[in-house]
Each structure stands twice: as C-alpha cells, then as structure tokens.
Structure 1
Amino acid sequence: MAIKSTIFKAQLQIADMDRGVYADHALTIARHPSETDERMLMRVLAFALHVPASDDNGRLELAKGISDTDEPDLWQHDLSGQLLHWLEVGQPDDRRMIKAAGRAQRVTVIAYAASTPIWWAGLQNKVARAARLAVWQVPAEQSQALAKLAQRTMQLQVTVQDGTVWVSDGQQSIEVEPQVLKPAAD
C-alpha cells in the first residue's frame, strides 16, 4: 500500500514592496512522502515571490511537481489554458528546463541545496540560450532555517523589500536573500 501525501495548510500574508503585491492567500499543500520540510517551504516561498497581484490573468497554483514528472512545482495558466509561468524548486536537469521554456512564457527555477554551485556550473552553458528561463539560488543555510517553520497549520508573514525576503511565523523571522544565477531576457 502506497504512503499518502500529508496535508499542510498555510495562511500567507504577503507584503511584497518590490512588486507592489499585498495579499492574503490560503494554501493547501499536499506534501509527498519523499518531500522534506525544506523543499515544501521552498515551494511556499516560490509562491509568495511569484504570485501575481490579481488573478485576472489566471492563478498561480501548486502543481503535482514531485508526484508527476510532466508538471512543475507551481504553475500559472491564463484563462484560455495557456501556460504562462512554470516554477521549479531544486535542481532540475537542463533538458527539463529547456522543455519547460518551450512550453511556458516564463520559467523560474529556485535552487536551494548546498550543492547548487556544482549543479549550476555543470549546466549553465547548456541553458544559456533559454531566454525565458530565470534561475535563482537561495543559500542552503537560509532554506534550512525556513524548514524549521514547517507545521501542519502555518500562519506566515512574507515581507519583500529591496530583494530581501523576511518570512515570519510570529515567533521567529528568517531572512532570505535570493541570488540570481541567470536572469530571464526581457
């Protein structure tokens, strides 16, 4: 018998001064049995950093990701079903990133493991021409600190200003400074 996903609930209060996004979101997160708290909180962070100011052009949603190789961790479709934004956390291979860039208008990868510099050195030349692809790194110590905020029911405040992100659960606050490895072409 297969082990089922564990359901987590997160109430997010987002104040992103860099993008002018101020909103509350309720997320229901199905955490795959093989997924760590760190990876799950990186998906929540990716949502907070990329959720659009309004749903007029479609919603950003948690996808099956780790459970389905044809889906990313998060994605946004417009109202006609066209794939606008494909978001991955972790270290996908170059073929997956290039394939995603062919399907979506924007692709964002947020890597977070200590091995990110080695992973990136091995494939940065292979994805350099993927104009729609942006690759970011969250330092491993910061993503590991985020993992400590994981609870079955979470109330998180996410504040973004001048590229720095603060994630708080009311008792502790974690500072995250994502670093761009590859910007998307405008």
Structure 2
Amino acid sequence: MAEKPTIHKLNLTLSNMDSNVYGDYNLTIALHPSETIERMMVRILAFCYRAAENLTFTRGLSATEEPELWLKHDNGTILEWIEVGQPAPDRLKKGCSQSVAVKVFSYGRGLEVWWKTNAAAIKSLPKVTINYFDADELQALCALADKTMSLTVTITENIAYVANATDNVAVTLHEMDAL
C-alpha cells in the first residue's frame, strides 16, 4: 500500500508589495511522501510571489500532467504554469504550449549543473522565466515548517520576509541569469 501524503495547514497573511497583492489565505498543502520540506516551502513561496485570484495548487507530484500551481482565467485559460525545482526542458515546453507564461522557482543541490546543462534549451522558450532561491536561506525557512503553520510573509524588492510567532527569516528570489 502506498504511503499517503502528510497534510499541512497554513494560515498565511501576505503583503506582496512588489505586485500589490495583500490578503489572508487558509491553505491546505499535501506533502507527498517523496517530497522534502524544502520543496513544500518553495511551493509556498511560489504561491506568495505569484498570488492572485484563481491561483491554485494542483495535485503536484501526483499529477505529471499538471504544474505545481497554476493561475487560470475564469474561462479556463491557463495564464501561468508554475513549476518548482529543476524541471526538464520538455516539461517547460509543454507548459509553454498550454499557457500564456511559465514561471519556475528553482532551488536545491545540483542547481548550477541543471542550469548549465539546460540553459540553452530553456532560453529558447520565450514564455519561460526562471528564478531561484539560495540553499542557506531555504534551510532557515524550513525551520519554520510545521503541520499547522501561521506565517506572515512580506515581499518587497524580491525579498520575502517570513515570520511565525517566534522566528523570522529573509529569503531572496534571484534571477537565474545571475547564477
């Protein structure tokens, strides 16, 4: 029998001053058995950076035909296909064919190797934007993870200031070309 995902509840207060999005969100996030806390926290950051009406988490790792998140128009058109991690160029090409824009929030070991190996193919896809997070900052963010979380996230100048009741961390979103 396959392991079931671990459910995390998040009460999120978001102030994204870069995109003028402010709101309170009650999110339920499934942590797939093969997924790390780091990846889950990057999914949360991706939500914060791209927050908009109709932005939703998909089935994630359980659905190979969907991105991690997507922003859909009321008519069903996919406005943003949002990936987390180090997706293959073919996956990004698929996202380009189904959406107006593709956003990638990358992180983790092997990031530089992944980028050097795939940069030419990815840069040829005109709809794709790649950003990444530093490993050390993400490790500090992971310390805030819990099955039930209340986080306040303030984003300004591409820096997410994330706080819970006792701690706070800053996580910077970098453009991939700066790697």
TM class by smaller structure: over 0.9
Partner residue, 1:25: 25
Give the distance between the partners of 1:19 and 1:25, measured in 2 at CA.
16
Residue 50 (1) aligns with residue 50 (2): yes
Partner residue, 1:10: 10
Residue 170 (structure 1) shift: 2.1
Residue 36 (1) aligns with residue 36 (2): yes
Q: Following superposition of structure 1 onto structure 2, how do residues 126-137 of structure 1 map, counting pairs within 5 Å?
A: 126-137=121-132
Residue 140 (1) aligns with residue 135 (2): yes
Residue 25 (structure 1) shift: 0.7
Partner residue, 1:89: 84
Residue 61 (1) aligns with residue 56 (2): yes
Q: How many residues align?
A: 178
Give the distance between the partners of 2:87 and 2:60, measured in 1 at CA.
11
Give the distance between the partners of 1:113 and 1:122, measured in 2 at CA.
15
Give the distance between the partners of 1:125 and 1:64, measured in 2 at CA.
29
Residue 175 (structure 1) shift: 0.7
Residue 107 (structure 1) shift: 0.7
Residue 169 (1) aligns with residue 164 (2): yes
SS in 1 for 2:122: coil
Give the distance between the partners of 1:127 and 1:10, measured in 2 at CA.
33
Runs of 4+ in 1 over 6 A off after TM superposition: none
What amino acid is aligned across from residue 155 of structure 2 in structure 1?
V
Residue 159 (1) aligns with residue 154 (2): yes
SS in 2 for 1:114: coil
Superimposed CA distance per residue, residues 47-80 of structure 1 (whole angstroms, 9 cap, x where no aligned partner): 011011xx2xxx1001112111101111111111
Aligned residue among 97, 104, 107 for 1:112: 107
Residue 122 (1) aligns with residue 101 (2): no
Unpaired stretches in structure 2, ≥5 consecutive residues: none
Residue 132 (structure 1) shift: 1.0
Identity of aligned residues (%): 36
Partner residue, 2:97: 102
Residue 95 (structure 1) shift: 0.7
What amino acid is aligned across from residue 18 of structure 1 in structure 2?
D
Give the distance between the partners of 2:131 and 2:165, measured in 1 at CA.
27
The answer to whether the Cα contact below 8 Å between 1:114 and 1:139 also exists between their aligned partners in 2 is: no
CA RMSD of aligned residues (A): 1.3
